[in-house]
Amino acid sequence: MLSGILEPTSGDVQVAGLIPSKERIKNAHNIGVVFGQRTQLWWDLPVQETFELLRHLYDIPSSIYRDNIYEFTQLLELKDILNKPVRQLSLGQRMRAEFASALLHNPKILFLDEPTIGLDISIKRKVWDFIKKINRERQVTVILTSHDMQDIETLSSRLIVVDEGVQIFDGSIKELKSKYINKYRIRFKVNEEVSNITHIDGLSSSINICGKGNDLYLVCPNSYNSAQIVAAVMDKFEIRDINIENANIDDVVMEVFFNAQQSG
């Protein structure tokens, strides 16, 4: 709907003051789109010729086109693939070319739908760095829809969670974590068998304790100072390793959906 492909069955949608389904050409000049499952590149043409076609479609001035091609070639490492047909590119190469093609005309808004699906971590990092750079330096608004929680936690300053068409959260990831997750976990690796440990003197009963082999797990409310807990455990055991684990974004989102279902 935001890109103008679908028309809303009810309600209103505006993008930069335009109604996408009624002002599709104007809207297309304001937006760039990258779909992880679809391509806007011409399959049998070299990447460079696809860029030339897009230059004419969007009436991109020569100076802007030249500057963008130079910058994107450097940032996305496109030099070695510009003369290759799209059908010969790997997924990572194609996605880098997709990002360049979506931004050639200097759009104000970039829509990303599962943009890193299937990419290995090294290519993901390059894509993440590129997205953050164009957001920061070009002031491009980036709207990301993704099930990849790494994408969300790395890129998003604002998060909207939708469950069956209903918005159930709108805020920062920090706000989301503080609202829905109020505990953290500490794992100790100790020198003795602790499988039967369920209580440690000096620690509150609100701290859940579980032992397994030489691993001791404590689940603690956020209100408890971790340094004091570590000190109490070190008084009782010889410690080989300590790991404090905060909730990751996967845990948080699962908690959000669970709470929404319970309240619904």
Share of the chain above pLDDT 70, in %: 96
**What would the pLDDT profile of 30-57 be if each residue is shown by its tens digit?**
999 998 778 889 999 999 999 999 999 9
User: Is 187 found in the same domain as 69?
Assistant: no
User: Is 110 found in the same domain as 220?
Assistant: no
The C-alpha atoms of residue 113 and residue 37 are separated, in whole angstroms, by 8
Model pLDDT, residue 80 = 94
The answer on pLDDT for 130 being more than 70 is yes
User: Is 230 found in the same domain as 147?
Assistant: no
- Nearest CA to 57 out of 29, 18, 84, 86 is that of 29
Tell me how far the alpha carbon of residue 217 is from its chain's centroid: 30
> Does residue 167 belong to any structural domain of this protein?
no
Model pLDDT, residue 261 = 66
The C-alpha atoms of residue 141 and residue 130 are separated, in whole angstroms, by 13
CATH of the domain at 220: 3.30.70.250
> Does residue 177 belong to any structural domain of this protein?
no
- Nearest CA to 161 out of 23, 63, 260 is that of 260
Q: Which residue has the higher pLDDT, 20 or 164?
A: 20
> Does residue 118 belong to any structural domain of this protein?
yes
**What would the pLDDT profile of 76-100 be if each residue is shown by its tens digit?**
999 999 999 999 999 999 999 999 9
Domain that holds residue 224: 182-246
> Does residue 30 belong to any structural domain of this protein?
yes
User: Is 192 found in the same domain as 141?
Assistant: no
The C-alpha atoms of residue 74 and residue 179 are separated, in whole angstroms, by 41
> Does residue 58 belong to any structural domain of this protein?
yes
pTM: 0.75
> Does residue 193 belong to any structural domain of this protein?
yes
> Does residue 47 belong to any structural domain of this protein?
yes
Q: Which residue has the higher pLDDT, 247 or 73?
A: 73
Contact 65, 54 (CB under 8 A): no
The answer on pLDDT for 151 being more than 80 is yes
Contact 65, 115 (CB under 8 A): no
Model pLDDT, residue 85 = 96
Domain count, the chain: 2
Model pLDDT, residue 86 = 95
Q: Which of 38-47, 97-106, 205-214, 252-261 has the lowest mean pLDDT?
A: 252-261
CATH of the domain at 148: 3.40.50.300
User: Is 108 found in the same domain as 45?
Assistant: yes
